[in-house]
Amino acid sequence: MTGVSRRELGLGLGAAALGSTLGGMAPAQTQVDGTRAAAGDLTFPPGFLWGCATASYQIEGAAKEDGRGPTVWDVFSHTPGRVANGATGDVACDSYHRYPEDIALLKALGVKAYRFSIAWSRIFPEGRGKPNQKGVDYYNRLVDGLLEAGIAPHVTMFHWDLPAALPGGWQNRDTAYAFGDYAAAMAGRLSDRVKDFMTVNELVCFTDLGYLVGGKAPGLKLSQKEANQVRHHGVLAHGLGVQAIRANAKAGTQVGLAENPSIYVPAIETPEHIEAAKKAVRDSNAMFLTAIMEGRYLESYLTAQGADAPKVQEGDMKLIGAPLDFLSINVYTGKMVRADPSSPQGYAILPTPREAPRMPSKWLYLTPEVIYWGLRSISELWRPKALYISENGCSADDKVSADGKVYDTDRVMYLRNYMTHLQRAAREELPIKGYFVWSLMDNFEWEDGYTKLFGIHHVDFKTQKRTPKLSADWYRELVRTNRLV
Ligand code: NOJ
């Protein structure tokens, strides 16, 4: 168990934490602003960091400007049949030009942090070599603008837009070293103003989904053995990135990654199911997060892969397992687990019924408890120093009303439910420091193009006009009060 005092004392399991009403909690009190809430119960800790997240290829556009080199996503999206309706990120939200407007949106929300990613190919159009100053200048302008607005930049070094010129992409071990060099270059240039860096975003998406399943760039369907090697190069890139950032950044820089581990919710909240869910987290993330947090591949993973296990060179696991200053997780969905003493691993992952409630993205089943259980399982397994939710949000059935506004009540419902479980994690004193909503605005949703939109601001892609949705108004109020009402 962790030193989570309130949980150990059996406190903090109010009805609200279970997603129901305030009934059964401390008596409601009317607040100065006229709202009513159980005193203190749904307040987040002072200084809790609220933010919004985006990623370069999804919002920047300006695909051919100022020396930016092509990426695997440019190639993929321009290949007929790969992305819904043939959409590309050529223009996207045009944030490359409109970033001052986007900073204004953040400021109006009152958030104190913005997570964005750097397009590697704006800095090194061919993945390595001589840095392109125009690309660096763009991120300098963005960082300076954010700081002027009182917003802390949280920078992801790699959010899937791999320079297309790198031979073999992630199949090639050299790409991990090229990533290290690029991360070093950017940490050196930005860490006088940026304090928080994430190496890579969502390992499974740019490895397995790109090289094994093929639904994401570069769209390959390799063998399991080849894919396992790609996975290894992904975690190695993270490790080399950590090393490079630490060696080149100013003192006090915090380094972590943004990972989307598979997360499991205990089917019933009893010790045996809780342990089962935790074990499922450790086992199913063996190739990614578990390797990073433990500096080794689990024997069970290596045995299961047999002759397909990745080739690991001396020193790799030490790099991969370097202790992190924080761990950020992207949380959207998960599955339930039950203890099953009759199975070899001791648990059973329960299939999600096909007709279970979900949001428009076909994978986005509603499981609000994953926020709490993700944070709790990870805290108990690996005791990270600090945790963030680097992404949470949803696609929704957005329609623009006659008054020009999107009343996305479904997204508000989603956020309110997930936040209830985030609040439980904070109340139980798990080391959760902040939360970034995905996403600041509607943007290019990878293979779904512009058919699934995650923004809390609507973007009219013809005029590029940004309009706050109801969910933005809801989030602004949460940020203002630091409290869930
Ligand atoms: C996670 C990814 O990091 C982000 O790029 C994507 O848009 C969201 N999930 C929603 O699918």
The DSSP code sequence of 2-65 is -S-HHHHTT----GGGGTS-STTSSPEEE-TTS-EEETTTTBPPTT-EEEEE--HHHH---TTS
Cβ-contact 392, 438 below 8 angstroms: yes
Return the pLDDT at 39: 52
**pLDDT above 80 for 258:** yes
Return the pLDDT at 9: 41
Ligand 1 touching residue 436 (CB < 6 A): no
**pLDDT above 70 for 1:** no
Average pLDDT of the residues of the chain? 94
3-state secondary structure of 208: helix
Question: What sections of 306-438 are H helices per DSSP?
Answer: 316-320, 370-382, 409-427
Question: Is 284 part of a structural domain of the chain?
Answer: yes
Q: How far apart are the first and last CA of the chain?
A: 31
189-202 residue pLDDT tens: 999 999 999 999 99
Return the pLDDT at 41: 73
**pLDDT above 90 for 205:** yes
H/E segment holding residue 389:
strand 387-392
Cα dihedral across residues 476, 479, 480, 485: positive or negative: positive
Strand 432-438 relative to strand 387-392, pairing: parallel
Q: Which residues span the domain enclosing 85?
A: 15-481
Residue 147 C-beta-side C-alpha neighbours within 13 Å: 12
Question: What sections of 428-482 are H helices per DSSP?
Answer: 470-481
Catalytic residue among 60, 369, 391, 445: 391
Q: Which residue, among 8, 9, 424, 390, has the nearest Cα to 200 in the 3D structure?
A: 390
Return the pLDDT at 23: 35
279-329 residue pLDDT tens: 999 999 999 999 999 999 999 999 999 999 999 999 999 999 999 999 999
Return the pLDDT at 485: 78
Mean pLDDT of the 10-22 span: 38
User: Over the range 55-79, which residues count as b (16 or more CB within 10 Å of their CB) and which as e?
Assistant: bbbbbbbbbeeeebbbbbbbebbee
Using most ligand atoms within 8 A of CB, pick from 156, 394, 438 the residue to mutate for ligand 1: 438
Cβ-contact 242, 199 below 8 angstroms: yes
Residue 321 C-beta-side C-alpha neighbours within 13 Å: 15
Question: Is 62 part of a structural domain of the chain?
Answer: yes
Ligand 1 touching residue 448 (CB < 6 A): no
**pLDDT above 90 for 337:** yes
Using most ligand atoms within 8 A of CB, pick from 199, 436, 445, 451 the residue to mutate for ligand 1: 445
The neighbour count for residue 147, using CB atoms within 10 Å, is: 14
The number of the ligand 1 atom at minimal distance from the alpha carbon of 202 is: 3
33-37, 239-243, 462-466: the lowest-pLDDT one: 33-37
Structural domains counted in the chain: 1
108-148 residue pLDDT tens: 999 999 999 999 999 999 999 999 999 999 999 999 999 99
Question: What sections of 350-399 are H helices per DSSP?
Answer: 370-382
Using most ligand atoms within 8 A of CB, pick from 60, 391, 395 the residue to mutate for ligand 1: 391
Q: Measured in angstroms, how far is the CA atom of residue 202 from the centroid of ligand 1? A: 9
Of all residues in the chain, the percent with pLDDT exceeding 90 is: 91
Question: Is 6 part of a structural domain of the chain?
Answer: no
| Residue 2 confidence class, pLDDT cut points 50, 70, 90 | very low
Ligand 1 touching residue 211 (CB < 6 A): no
Q: Tokens 């992952």 appear where?
A: 349
Question: Is 220 part of a structural domain of the chain?
Answer: yes
Cβ-contact 290, 235 below 8 angstroms: no
**pLDDT above 90 for 267:** yes
Ligand 1 touching residue 330 (CB < 6 A): yes
**pLDDT above 60 for 379:** yes
Ligand 1 touching residue 60 (CB < 6 A): no
Phi/psi for 469 (5° steps) reads -85, 175
Ligand 1 touching residue 438 (CB < 6 A): yes
Count, residues in the chain = 485
Q: Measured in angstroms, how far is the CA atom of residue 393 from the centroid of ligand 1? A: 9
The neighbour count for residue 465, using CB atoms within 10 Å, is: 12
The neighbour count for residue 33, using CB atoms within 10 Å, is: 9
**pLDDT above 70 for 464:** yes
Cβ-contact 76, 205 below 8 angstroms: no
Tokens found for residue 175:
């790409």
Q: Let me know the angle formed at the C-alpha of 190 by 186 and 193, rounded to the nearest 5 degrees.
A: 160
CATH of the domain at 339: 3.20.20.80
Residue 311 DSSP code: P
| Residue 30 confidence class, pLDDT cut points 50, 70, 90 | low
Mean pLDDT of the 182-189 span: 98
**pLDDT above 60 for 7:** no
Strand 327-330 relative to strand 347-350, pairing: unpaired
Q: Which residue, among 450, 456, 472, has the nearest Cα to 61 in the 3D structure?
A: 450
Catalytic residue among 60, 202, 259, 369: 202
57-83 residue pLDDT tens: 999 999 999 999 999 999 999 999 999
Whether 391 sits among the annotated catalytic residues: the reply is: yes
Cα dihedral across residues 415, 417, 419, 421: positive or negative: negative
Ligand 1 touching residue 202 (CB < 6 A): yes
Return the pLDDT at 96: 99
